């Protein structure tokens, strides 16, 4: 169990979760990415609509 970095809601990870896996917060709908598993770290997934200035 981890926490959504955006709204702080509990985010459930599957037992076979892998780094880089995308999931969405059921509370705020933000697309999240698993950054690390030990310890679990979750961040906002880069949005496809976002312009990264490249
Ligand atoms: Zn959230």
Cα of 51 vs centre of ligand 1, distance in Å, is 22
11 Cα to the center of ligand 1, angstroms: 8
> By the 8 A CB rule, do 27 and 7 touch?
yes
pLDDT digits (tens, 9 = 90+) for 10-51: 998 989 999 999 999 999 999 999 999 999 999 999 876 667
The edge-to-edge listing of strands for the beta sheet with 31-37 is 22-24, 31-37, 40-44
Domain ranges of the chain: 2-44
In angstroms, rounded to a whole number, what is the distance separating the alpha carbons of residues 30 and 47? 10
Q: Which two tokens stand for residue 36?
A: 């690390």
pLDDT reported for residue 10:
95
Residue 21: per-residue pLDDT:
96
Region of residue 8 (phi > 0: left; psi between -120 and 50: alpha; otherwise: beta): left
Residue 52 has pLDDT above 70, yes or no: no
Domain 2-44 has CATH 1.20.140.150: no
Ligand 1 geometric centre to CA of 26 (Å) = 7
Asked if residues 41 and 35 have their Cβ atoms less than 8 Å apart, the reply is yes
């Amino acid at each position: 169990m981890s926490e959504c970095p955006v709204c702080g809601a509990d985010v459930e990870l599957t037992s076979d979760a892998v780094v880089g896996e995308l999931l969405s917060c059921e509370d705020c709908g933000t697309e999240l990415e698993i950054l690390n598993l030990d310890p679990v770290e979750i961040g906002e997934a880069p949005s496809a609509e976002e312009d990264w200035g490249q």
